[in-house]
Amino acid sequence: MQPKGRTAATVVPMRPRATATRVALDPRQAKTLHQQDAAHLVHGFVPLQLHQQQGVPIFVKGQGIYLWDTEGKRYIDALASLWNVHVGHGRKEIARAVAAQMNQLAFAPTLIGPTSVPTVQLATKLVKLAPKGLTRVIFTSGGSEANETLIRLVRAYWQAKGRPEKSKFVSLNQGYHGSSSGTASLGGLPLLNKQMHPGLPGILHIARPYCYRCELGKTYPSCQLDCAEELERVVQREGAHTIGAFIAEPIQGVGGVIVPPSTWLPKIREICSRHDILMACDEVITGFGRTGALFACTGAGVTPDILVTAKGITSGYLPLGAVLFKEEIFQTFLATGDDYAFWHGYTYTGHPTVCAAALANLEIIERERLVHKAREQGKYLQKTLATLRDLPIVGETRGQGLIAAVELVKDKATKEMFPADLQIARRVWEKALAYGVLTRVAGPNNIAICPPLIITRAQIDELVAVLRRAISDVAAEVTGEEWKRASGK
Q: How far apart are CA 45 and CA 224, in angstroms?
A: 37
Closest residue to bound ligand PLP by CB: 143
CB of 460 to ligand PLP, least distance (A): 23
Identified binder of ligand PLP from the candidate list 87, 285, 296, 405, rule CB under 6 A: 285
Under the criterion CB under 6 A, does residue 67 sit at the interface with ligand PLP?
no
Size of the site for ligand PLP (CB under 6 A): 14
- 287 belongs to the binding site for ligand PLP (CB under 6 A): no
Instruction: Please state the closest distance from residue 362 (CB atom) to ligand PLP, in A.
Output: 18
Q: Please calculate the CA angle 312-68-472 and round it to the nearest 5 degrees.
A: 85
Q: How far is the CB of 314 from ligand PLP (least distance, A)?
A: 11
DSSP string, 203-266: EEEE----GGG-TTS--TTTT-SHHHHHHHHHHHHH-GGGEEEEEE-SSBSTTT-BPPPTTHHH
User: Is there a contact between 152 and 325 (Cβ–Cβ < 8 Å)?
Assistant: no
Cβ neighbours for 281, distance < 8 A, ≥ 6 positions apart = 247, 248, 249, 250, 265, 295, 296, 297, 302, 304, 306, 307, 308
The answer to whether residue 178 forms part of the interface with ligand PLP (CB under 6 A) is yes
Nearest to 255 by CA among 41, 448, 460: 448
Q: Answer yes or no whether residue 292 interacts with ligand PLP by CB under 6 A.
A: no
How far apart are CB 421 and ligand PLP at their closest, in Å? Answer: 26
Cβ contact 140:175 at 8 Å: no
- The interface mask with ligand PLP, positions 237-256, x = CB under 6 A, is ------------x---xx--
Nearer to ligand PLP, 37 or 282 (CB): 282
148 binds ligand PLP (CB under 6 A): no
- For ligand PLP, the closer of residues 189 and 464 by Cβ is 189
Single out the residue of 143, 244, 316, 451 in contact with ligand PLP (rule: CB under 6 A): 143
Residue (of 402, 203, 383) closest to 293 by Cα position = 402
**Does position 176 bind ligand PLP by CB under 6 A?**
yes
Q: How far apart are the first and last CA of the chain?
A: 32
Nearer to ligand PLP, 72 or 312 (CB): 312
284 binds ligand PLP (CB under 6 A): yes
Task: Tell me which residues in 300-319 interact with ligand PLP (CB under 6 A).
Answer: 310
Q: What is the DSSP letter of 416?
A: B
DSSP state of 64: B
Q: Rule CB under 6 A: which residues touch ligand PLP?
A: 142-144, 147, 176-178, 249, 253-254, 282, 284-285, 310
